[in-house]
A and B are shown apart, each in its own frame.
Chain A
Amino acid sequence: QKEVEQDPGPLSVPEGAIVSLNCTYSNSAFQYFMWYRQYSRKGPELLMYTYSSGNKEDGRFTAQVDKSSKYISLFIRDSQPSDSATYLCAMRDTGGFKTIFGAGTRLFVKA
């Protein structure tokens, strides 16, 4: 079993839709939870990160962490064609330096 599971998609939505991206994990030691966006042939770009449980909002993006269920989500409101990319969840424990990534979900937003 992988430490971080993420549905690879692809996920196709119309412009303006609310997008929900999710990851589950097995390691209860994870405390830092990150979301990256990766465009084709580019390096990942950090969108936002949270520590422990709770919600965090940044513009059209909202990250949620439910540690009791070992489940994290990223919501994108008013999705745009420019949001079409691969979204990677990532996690790290407090004492370590290794970041574990999910496989990424490919998102297509149709105009």
Chain B
Amino acid sequence: DAGVTQSPTHLIKTRGQQVTLRCSPKSGHDTVSWYQQALGQGPQFIFQYYEEEERQRGNFPDRFSGHQFPNYSSELNVNALLLGDSALYLCASSWTSNPTEQYFGPGTRLTVT
């Protein structure tokens, strides 16, 4: 049973560029959440997707957007990258009936230069 997978593993982008990160949830999960984890900090909630809709959003600007596909996989898009966007981006999946049991992927490390 594959767990949560994310791609790519690492990414280097230049300020002002756009980036797309991808996530495949654990088999059977229907809900995907995205988090940003800066070095030495805990994960910060960006947003959660369920039934292809954004269900709740954290304190992140509109430059951060997402999408969920019919197969429950998800994408995180970040436009107009800033140096401060450099972080580990984590995807977590869960069943909507048990949102507390979240399973995290290994993350995508984004470096903005």
Is the C-beta of B95 less than 8 angstroms from some C-beta in chain A? no
Is the C-beta of B97 less than 8 angstroms from some C-beta in chain A? no
**Contact assessment for A32 and B100 in the assembled complex, using a CB-CB cutoff below 8 Å:** yes
* Best-surrounded residue of A4, A6, A99 (most CB of chain B within 10 A): A99
Is the C-beta of B102 less than 8 angstroms from some C-beta in chain A? yes
What's the least CB distance linking B100 to chain A, in Å?
5
A59 to B106, CA, bound (A): 25
A88 to B45, CA, bound (A): 14
A97 to B53, CA, bound (A): 13
Q: Report the tally of A-B residue pairs with Cβ distances under 8 A.
A: 58
Question: For residue A99, which residues in chain B have a CB less than 8 angstroms away from its CB?
Answer: 33, 45, 102
Interface segment out of the listed A12-20, A38-46, A67-75, A77-85: A38-46
A90 to B44, CA, bound (A): 11
**Contact assessment for B103 and A98 in the assembled complex, using a CB-CB cutoff below 8 Å:** no
Is the C-beta of A100 less than 8 angstroms from some C-beta in chain B? yes
What's the least CB distance linking A45 to chain B, in Å?
7
Is the C-beta of A61 less than 8 angstroms from some C-beta in chain B? no
**Contact assessment for B106 and A42 in the assembled complex, using a CB-CB cutoff below 8 Å:** yes
Interface segment out of the listed B35-43, B63-71, B74-82: B35-43
Is the C-beta of B101 less than 8 angstroms from some C-beta in chain A? yes
Q: A34-B100, A99-B102 are in contact. Are A104 and B4 (CB under 8 A)?
A: no
Q: Which 8 A-B pairs have the closest CB atoms?
A: A101-B42, A43-B104, A97-B56, A98-B45, A97-B48, A44-B104, A32-B100, A103-B42
B: residues with CB less than 8 A from A are 4, 31, 33, 35, 40-45, 48, 55-56, 58, 90, 92, 99-107
A: residues with CB less than 8 A from B are 4, 6, 8, 32, 34, 36, 41-46, 49, 51, 88, 90, 92, 96-104
